[in-house]
Amino acid sequence: MRLIGDIGGTNARFALCEPGGPPLNERKLPVAQYPGLIEAAQAYLAGRVVDEAVFAVATPVLGDEVAFTNSPWRFTVPDARERLGLQRLVVINDFVAQASAIRALEAKEIRTLKPGTPYPGRPCVVLGPGTGLGVAFLLEVEGKTRVLSSEAGHSSFSPQDDRQGEILRRLRREFGHVSMERLLSGPGLLRLANGLAEIEGQPLRLKDPKEVSARAADGNCPICLEASRMFSAILGAAAGDMALTVLAEGGVYVTGGLCRNLGPLLDLAALKEGFISKGRFSGYLEAVPISQVMRPHTGLLGAAIYDGA
């Protein structure tokens, strides 16, 4: 059996599987309740013995030492392998797992956000806001699908209008460099709402992204509704930039629970406008489809089917 994990900044999800088989016995553990990944994995295993593990982690994988971007967890691959009693441990970026799962999804697990014409064999973009912003690319190389990991979520945010420019100006005071994930994430949705309230001189000060979506869903908070629309527009603009980077004629895939949970608050008109508003290349992007992955926990599916390619 293989132990698989999809380890984010907020939650660590574990499951068991036969290599290539579906995830079984899934369980979510809050990161804040455990001192590290090894302890969380031991708690999940509860004495069960496995030979190998694949962990998809929300941070760059650049060697044996792994330090998470949005949590205090850190570990080394040899230490984790020894303490978990594994013969083999593979650690991959979480969006390598997300992208690996795309080809295994059923049609019913994908929702069209923007219609278009996907071309088989052409590059795809996979991105998903969560605690941070994950991005990966799918490429066809010699007839095989390859996943290219990236940290494009940490590229600079570029405002598309004066309103977004004012948000950027305020966030620069706090962060200096303002990356895309400062806005395209759960905390980013919160920053948008609080920033818009500050611009409007309103006393509204929210403390949780769920407050933003709940108030927007009620329809009684114009600030939260605008924050949701702006989030959608920025997501579209970022996806358009990445689509142009690799000429993603295979399509763009939006993953993760944040956008799924937004439901109708994910403004498709604003997302499309942000996506195609690229001047002379607007016509090119009109043909590129955007799809949303509706299956939860696709990182576990990707870790289950990951073969090291």
Render pLDDT for 222-280 as a digit per residue (tens, 0 to 9): 999 999 999 999 999 999 999 999 999 999 999 999 999 999 999 999 999 999 999 99
Q: Residue 141's pLDDT is what?
A: 85
Calculate what percentage of the chain has a pLDDT beyond 70.
99
Distance, in Å, from the CA atom of 70 to the CA atom of 68, rounded to the nearest integer, reads: 6
Residue 4, phi then psi, degrees to nearest 5:
-120, 145
Q: Quote the CA–CA distance of 82 and 64 in Å, as a whole number.
A: 13
Domains and CATH numbers, the chain: 2-99+298-305 (3.30.420.40), 116-288 (3.40.367.20)
pLDDT at 308 (0 to 100): 66
The pLDDT of residue 18: 87
Q: Which residues of the chain fall short of a pLDDT of 70?
A: 308-309
Q: What is the pTM of this model?
A: 0.91
Spatial CA neighbour of 31 closest among 9, 46, 15, 14 = 9
Contact 37, 9 (CB under 8 A): no
The per-residue b/e assignment along 191-220, b for 16 or more CB within 10 angstroms, e otherwise, is bbbbbbbbeeeeeeebeebebbbebbbeee
Give alpha helix (H) positions in the chain. Answer: 37-45, 77-83, 94-102, 162-175, 186-199, 209-218, 222-246, 257-262, 268-276, 282-286, 298-305
Write down the number of H helices and E strands in the chain: 11, 13
Instruction: Write down the pLDDT at residue 19.
Output: 74
What does the alpha-carbon distance between residue 84 and residue 117 come to, in Å, rounded to a whole number?
Answer: 46
pLDDT number for residue 309: 47
Question: Residue 150 has what DSSP assignment?
Answer: -
